[in-house]
Amino acid sequence: MLCGVKFCGGCNPRYERGKALAAVKEHFGENLRFAYAEEGRRYDLLLYIAGCANRCTALGAYPTDRGIVSLWDEESIREVCARMEELLRG
Amino acid sequence: MALMTGSQYIESLRKLGTKVYLFGEKIDNWVDHPMIRPSINCVAITYDLAHDPEHSDLMTATSNLTGKKVNRFAHLHQSTEDLRNKVKMQRLLGQKTASCFQRCVGMDAFNAVYSTTYETDEKYGTQYHENFKKYLAYVQENDLTVDGAMTDPKGDRGLAPNKQTDPDLFMHIVEKRADGIVVRGAKAHQTGSINSHEHLIMPTIAMTEADKDYAVSFACPSDAEGLFMIYGRQSCDTRKMEDGADIDVGNKQFGGQEALVVFDNVFIPNDRIFLCGEWDFAGMLVERFAGYHRQSYGGCKVGVGDALIGAAALIADYNGAQKASHVKDKLIEMTHLNETLYCCGIACSAEGYPTKAGNYQIDLLLANVCKQNVTRFPYEIVRLAEDIAGGLVVTMPSAQDFRSKEKVPTGSGLTIGEWCNKFFQGVASVPTENRQRLMRFIENLCLGSSAVGYRTESMHGAGSPQAQRIMIARQGNIEGKKALAKKLAGIKD
């Protein structure tokens, strides 16, 4: 399974988004591959990491088979991982 | 060509034959000059972040001219979302550099010239818009940095361009040829001019028919024959020339840059001309460029403000004063002022609208209110930062003193460095060097070389305060407000 990773532009992020991605990757270990999302490419899942609750990035150019999971604060990392697992199980 | 990296950008500057004068001498290797390089690093980061997955969403956009991915600094805004993203990108870069990153003037000029040439052609049947579209496609394709240059030296402010004793005090056409024009004059206070591949020239004020030789807009390479630049001094600039310059510089990596750009009879071919004598469009071009640039300050200065607020909070920690209620309140006030500027930048973007040419224009009234606030709030933020930091910002000995092994012939036998480290310690758990570095960083932004960008540029860049007040008066709809009051008060006349 391949998870696309899309960051917002990071104008004024409220937490370290790179560290949050590292935590998600650590959670999944080798059970899920991650790649920075490219426009027009289809992914099994898209992880959208926004710097704040505004989540201003348009995600229409990133098609997925199983959906998009959004993260916008570091307190939600475990919850986001759980949601990703749920989607991956189908 | 794909988007350049920062390193590729710096190498591209080396290939130019830009003529730079500093301290009365021509500087051949200006790319590596210690006083100039920090400003080049600032522009370079606008290239590097376009490749960074954590920031590319803001730093790039899809060109309406070519359909390709371009750096947002070369983009024509296609929506209010683009206008907002511009401001967000500028805040990001202000946070990353705590300096003026210089590339905004080009972006603002592109958007102003694009819409103005469209409307000029509509009236006069000229070909300026097509000229400009081809030029901008070239800029986008080669990922160039362009200095959008507006401000003429202006001489006697009470006189129109055609009445000046010296006609060169405003950029003007000195010769028209079949293949182009020859121009003469200068542009002053040019942010990032030396670091730009190209110059995009615009008139500096609205003009009358008598000034038609001064109503000129064009583009040329920064190393064009007859073009040279004289570097502008900044407060504390020669600290960058000191051996091992680091701590005392305050911000070693980044800085801003301004220069006087002189055009001593420069030839401009026809396909690079965007206005040539159509005097009644000079005002439109000035108003649109100024509007975009006044919006810009609601992003860039906010990002720099973020860095200064962070430094003020940190120095309070290092001083052991972080729990004092007045310190907490001052940090709140700084944040309130800074976010108010951001509100203005976002608001004038959200209220934007399409021009006849199709690119998006900001709301002029709100952009002028934005800039009017920028002429004031950074000064108050600086005042509060100095208040929190304490007088050491301006009284601390040099880095050489802190490193000195020179023994002082007194009973203790300590070196100068040891005395400095002993007496300039704050909270014991924080190394004195950290406190020293932060004090110098604050000094740099409040009254050192970066104060050029954060203070005086906030005052005069994109137009001095009175220029915004004139626009606010024009756009403020006082008559409409009078009508509201009459209706509510029951006045019938």
How many CB atoms within 10 Å of residue B216? 25
Query: Which pLDDT tens digit goes with each residue over B273-284?
Result: 999 999 999 999
Q: Could you say which of B282, B297, B320 is where a domain stops? A: B282
Pairing mode, strands A45-49 and A2-7: parallel
- Tell me: do B299 and B262 sit in the same domain: no
Confidence of residue B493 (pLDDT cuts 50, 70, 90): confident
Across A11-33, average pLDDT: 96
Distance in angstroms (rounded) separating the CA atoms of residues B417 and B419: 5
Domain ranges, residue A83: 2-89
Same domain, B116 and B188: yes
| Mutation site, B48, B57, B91, interface A, largest A CB count within 10 A | B57
Please indicate, yes or no, whether residues B246 and B372 belong to a single structural domain of this protein: no
Q: Is the CB of residue B116 less than 8 Å from the CB of residue B291?
A: no
Amino acid identity at B372: Q
pLDDT at B2 over 90: no
- Residues on chain B touching A8 (C-beta within 8 angstroms): 57-58
B362-382 mean pLDDT: 98
Q: What is the ipTM of this complex?
A: 0.92
pLDDT at residue A90, rounded to an integer: 83
B491 within domain boundaries:
no
Flag whether residue B56 sits within 8 Å of chain A, measured between CB atoms.
yes
The values of phi and psi at residue B446, to 5°, are: -85, -35
Residue B133 is assigned to a structural domain of this protein:
yes
Yes or no, beta carbons of B53 and A17 under 8 Å apart? no
Residue B81 near chain A (CB below 8 Å): yes
The rounded mean pLDDT for chain B is: 97
Kindly determine whether residue B58 and residue A9, on different chains, have CB atoms separated by under 8 Å.
yes
Band (pLDDT 50/70/90 cuts) for residue B155 is very high
CATH number of B80's domain: 2.40.110.10
- Here the CATH number for the domain that contains residue B389 is 1.20.140.10
- Any CB–CB contact under 8 A between A75 and chain B? no
For residues B403 and B417, the answer to whether their CB atoms sit within 8 Å is: yes
Answer whether B53 sits within 8 Å of A36, measured CB to CB.
yes
Residues B352, B247: one domain? Answer: no
Confidence band for B244, pLDDT divided at 50, 70 and 90 = confident
In the annotation, is B293 catalytic? Answer: yes
pLDDT for B199 equals: 98
CATH number, residue A77: 3.40.50
Average pLDDT over residues A31-54: 96
pLDDT at B1: 64
Domain boundary among B249, B282, B315: B282
Q: B262 and B314 in one domain?
A: no
- Measured torsion, CA atoms of residues B351, B353, B359, B361, in degrees rounded to the nearest 10: -60
Q: B282, B298, B331: which is the final residue of a domain?
A: B282
Query: Looking at chain A from residue 39 to 68, which residues have their Cβ under 8 Å from any Cβ of chain B?
Result: 56-58
Per the document, the length of chain B is: 493
B279-306 pLDDT per residue, tens: 999 999 999 999 999 999 999 999 999 9
Whether residue B490 lies inside any domain: the answer is no
Say whether both B308 and B278 belong to one domain. no
From CA B316, how far away is CA B393, in angstroms rounded?
13
Q: In which domain, by residue range, is B195 found?
A: 6-282
User: What pTM does this model have?
Assistant: 0.96
Mean pLDDT of B345-369: 98
Q: How many domains does chain B have?
A: 2
Percent of chain B clearing pLDDT 90 (strictly above): 99
Chain B contact for A5, CB < 8 A?
Answer: yes
Q: Do B91 and A12 touch (CB under 8 A)?
A: yes
Cβ–Cβ gap A9/B91 under 8 Å: no
**Over residues B452-476, mean pLDDT:** 96
Nearest CA in chain B to A12: B92
- Total number of domains constituting chain A: 1
**Residue B204 placed within a domain:** yes
- Do B292 and B227 belong together in one domain? no
pLDDT tens for each residue of B86-144: 999 999 999 999 999 999 999 999 999 999 999 999 999 999 999 999 999 999 999 99
The answer to whether B191 is a known catalytic residue is: yes
